[in-house]
């Protein structure tokens, strides 16, 4: 993990999922494709949707798509390493697109539950150092910081911003 790479485009994600489904004897449906494209939509890249939030986004495009379809498609995306589930303190599982070779950490506003993604090389180096000191080779990690904004919250759409 480390350096940033290009974001997976919705069409690429669809192809990866299609191959995974085929390997597992499943078919790509129009609804699975729509859920995948909505999840990987660059306009929503910074969001970390719950199943419910993604369901509402997909239903706005096609009201025939059911909640269970969105849930199962996110599960399939997770199984083929295209999505990562996380909990950020609001007691809900949120999902974000996985980007091969890309890594970032999260800062969560405890006032609005907004999530800011960030990268910090110094933190990355410290984690490597700690792992080595404890006798480990770091293969992956997730870091989530929680805090109160000292001024106006930087999260777009924050409910507490003035």
Lowest mean pLDDT among 13-22, 76-85, 96-105: 96-105
Q: What is the CA radius of gyration of the chain?
A: 17
| pLDDT recorded at residue 101 | 60
| pLDDT recorded at residue 6 | 58
| pLDDT recorded at residue 159 | 54
Q: For 40-49, b where at least 16 C-beta lie within 10 A, e where not — what string? A: beeeeeebbb
The pLDDT tens digits of the residues spanning 52-99 come to 999 999 999 999 999 999 999 999 999 998 888 887 767 788 888 887
For the cut 80, the answer to whether the pLDDT of residue 140 exceeds it is no
- What is the pTM (predicted TM-score) of this model? 0.66
Burial bucket for residue 123 (CB in 10 Å: 0-12, 13-18, 19+): middle
Which residues, in sequence order, are bridge partners of residue 85? 95
| pLDDT recorded at residue 39 | 92
Higher pLDDT, 141 or 84: 84
Looking at residues 36-44, what average pLDDT do you find? 88
User: What letter would DSSP give residue 114?
Assistant: -
Task: Read off the pLDDT band of 156 (50, 70, 90).
Answer: low
For the cut 50, the answer to whether the pLDDT of residue 5 exceeds it is no
Residue ranges of E strands in the chain: 83-87, 93-97, 105-109, 115-118, 144-147
Closest Cα partner for 49 from 60, 38, 61, 59? 38
């Amino acid at each position: 993990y480390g350096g940033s790479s290009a974001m997976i485009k919705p069409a690429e994600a669809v192809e990866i999922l299609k191959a995974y489904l085929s390997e597992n004897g499943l078919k790509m449906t129009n609804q699975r494709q729509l859920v995948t494209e909505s999840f990987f939509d660059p306009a929503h890249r910074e969001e970390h949707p719950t199943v419910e939030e993604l369901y509402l986004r997909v239903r706005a495009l096609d009201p025939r798509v059911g909640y269970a379809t969105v849930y199962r498609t996110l599960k399939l995306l997770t199984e083929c390493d295209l999505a990562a589930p996380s909990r950020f303190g609001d007691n809900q599982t949120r999902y974000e697109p996985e980007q091969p070779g890309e890594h970032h950490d999260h800062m969560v506003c405890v006032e609005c539950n907004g999530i800011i993604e960030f990268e910090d090389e110094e933190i990355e180096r410290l984690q490597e150092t700690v792992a080595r000191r404890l006798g480990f080779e770091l293969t992956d990690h997730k870091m989530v910081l929680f805090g109160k904004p000292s001024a106006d919250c930087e999260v777009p759409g924050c409910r507490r911003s003035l």
